[in-house]
């Protein structure tokens, strides 16, 4: 510490500070300024005295100062962290942040307006970059959204338009099936009929997907029903296609359930078909149905190899299927739609898998 008095010390500090200091009269005439602000502006310190505060600001900041900051100083007594632009004598501009407060006399009248000015050029660049990043991101999102809607509309239209020609094929094959046919022709007609059914399923899935994604969601027609006959019926249906397989059921569901029978059947049929298709042939598929604490829980379990963890994570997302076995699994929409049906019922679908068994569990509150 030198032998300077406190006041001299403070003056020296302000004078050599890295920030600019300006004092003005209440009307905005500059009465004091340090060398830093004068240097930034490209003026001598003395040249600043008597100028109006607004004269050192770029036009935008000048208007902002007159219409907003000066009133703030008058009425609130201060403002903080306001971004502004200085207009330098070489014609260029400098980004700054300003804090200001009104020093009042003993009667509470403003005596002096004191302004601290900080260089903010780096910050300005940073803010500009942020702004650009935001606007880029907004544009990307907008484009993506438009694309997604277009894609989904395309799917909906496609699904819808495929139904009519398929209807004609089905009717045709059914009519042909009634005629007297050679064995070879019978076999061809039966393949056409099966393929048409398979295709009808795929189209229904595509339509369901589009319905969910385009905002409509899956609509339910709710009825109070017992769950056991529904499951038994689904098993009977699938056993026609998998006569060599066996399914073991366990029921502990004495209460009725309020659900959409067709949708719930669609979901359970999908789960069971998956279990029969992917499970090991020599392990029976198990279906456990329980109602406990007003929660319906249906678990479909099959043996066989485990589903890899990364696949398990995205199992319920649309268009996911094992890359190596394309045609067998269709579009990869089955589980997505199943989970949407569960969701529409206020429930959810989960999956777990290890080397021993793979299970899918549907739960819904009653």
Length of the chain: 366
Residue that is written with structure tokens 């069971």 in the block: 272
Q: How far apart are CA 286 and CA 257, in angstroms?
A: 21
In the complex with other proteins, the residue whose CB is nearer, 54 or 302, is: 54
Tell me the site size for other proteins, rule CB under 8 A: 34
Closest distance of CB 44 from other proteins, Å = 23
Based on its alpha-carbon atoms, the radius of gyration of the chain, rounded to whole angstroms, reads 38
Q: How far is the CB of 126 from other proteins (least distance, A)?
A: 10
Contact between 222 and 346 under an 8 Å Cβ cutoff? The reply is no
Q: Which of residues 3-42 bind other proteins (CB under 8 A)?
A: 26-28
Among 12, 80, 146, 161, binds other proteins (CB under 8 A): 80
Please report how the helices 334-344 and 261-278 are oriented relative to each other, as an axis angle in degrees rounded to 10. 140
| 209 binds other proteins, rule: CB under 8 A | no
Residues 36-75 vs other proteins: string with x where CB under 8 A?
Answer: ----------------x-x---xxxxxxx-xxx-xxx-xx
Under the binding rule (CB under 8 A), the answer on residue 116 touching other proteins is no
CA–CA separation, 164 vs 186, rounded Å?
Answer: 24
172 binds other proteins (CB under 8 A): no
Which burial class, exposed, middle or buried, applies to 20 when counting CB atoms under 10 A from its CB (0-12, 13-18, 19+)?
Answer: buried
CA–CA dist 349, 339 (Å, integer): 5
- Pair of tokens at residue 268: 């359970």
| Euclidean distance between CA atoms 271 and 266, whole angstroms | 9
Nearer to other proteins, 26 or 177 (CB): 26
Q: Supply φ then ψ for residue 185, to 5 degrees.
A: -65, -40
Q: Which stretch binds other proteins (CB under 8 A): 82-90, 188-196, 221-229, 268-276?
A: 82-90
Relative orientation angle of helices 121-178 and 183-213, to the nearest 10 degrees:
150
Among 40, 43, 47, 83, binds other proteins (CB under 8 A): 83
Shortest CB 142 distance to other proteins, Å: 18
* Residue 316 near other proteins by CB under 8 A: no
Q: What is the nearest approach in angstroms of other proteins to the Cβ of residue 61?
A: 7
Query: For other proteins, which is the closer residue by CB, 28 or 172?
Result: 28
Which residue ranges make up the site for other proteins (CB under 8 A)?
26-28, 52, 54, 58-64, 66-68, 70-72, 74-77, 79-85, 104, 108, 127-128, 131
């Amino acid at each position: 510490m030198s032998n300077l008095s406190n006041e001299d010390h403070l003056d020296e500090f302000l004078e050599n500070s890295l920030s600019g200091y300006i004092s003005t009269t209440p009307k905005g005439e500059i009465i004091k300024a340090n060398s830093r602000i004068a240097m930034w502006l490209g003026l001598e310190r003395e040249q600043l005295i008597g100028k109006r505060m607004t004269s050192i600001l770029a036009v935008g900041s000048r208007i902002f100062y007159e219409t907003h900051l000066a009133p703030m100083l008058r009425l609130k007594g201060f403002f903080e962290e306001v971004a502004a632009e200085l207009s330098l004598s070489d014609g260029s501009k400098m980004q700054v942040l300003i804090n200001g407060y009104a020093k009042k006399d003993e009667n509470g009248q403003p005596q002096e307006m004191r302004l601290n000015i900080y260089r903010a050029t780096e910050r300005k660049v940073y803010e500009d970059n942020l702004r650009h990043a935001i606007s880029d991101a907004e544009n990307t999102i907008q484009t993506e959204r438009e694309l997604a809607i277009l894609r989904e509309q395309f799917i909906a239209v496609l699904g819808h338009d495929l139904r009519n020609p398929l209807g004609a094929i089905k009717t045709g094959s059914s009519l042909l099936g009634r005629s007297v046919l050679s064995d070879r022709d019978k076999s061809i007609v039966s393949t056409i009929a099966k393929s048409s059914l398979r295709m009808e399923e795929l189209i229904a899935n595509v339509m369901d997907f589009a319905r969910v994604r385009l905002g409509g969601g899956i609509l339910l027609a709710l009825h109070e029903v017992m769950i056991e006959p529904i499951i038994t019926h689904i098993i009977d249906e699938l056993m026609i296609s998998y006569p060599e397989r066996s399914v073991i059921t366990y029921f502990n569901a004495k209460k009725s359930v309020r659900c959409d029978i067709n949708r719930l059947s669609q979901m359970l049929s999908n789960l069971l078909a998956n279990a029969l298709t992917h499970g090991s042939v020599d392990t029976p598929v198990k279906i456990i149905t329980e109602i406990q604490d007003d929660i319906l829980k249906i678990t479909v379990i099959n043996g066989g190899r485990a589903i890899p963890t990364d696949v398990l994570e995205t199992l319920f997302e649309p268009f996911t299927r094992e890359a190596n076995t394309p045609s067998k699994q269709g579009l990869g929409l089955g589980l997505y739609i199943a989970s949407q049906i569960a969701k529409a019922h206020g429930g959810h679908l989960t999956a777990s898998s290890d080397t021993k068994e793979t299970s899918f569990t549907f739960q819904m509150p009653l």
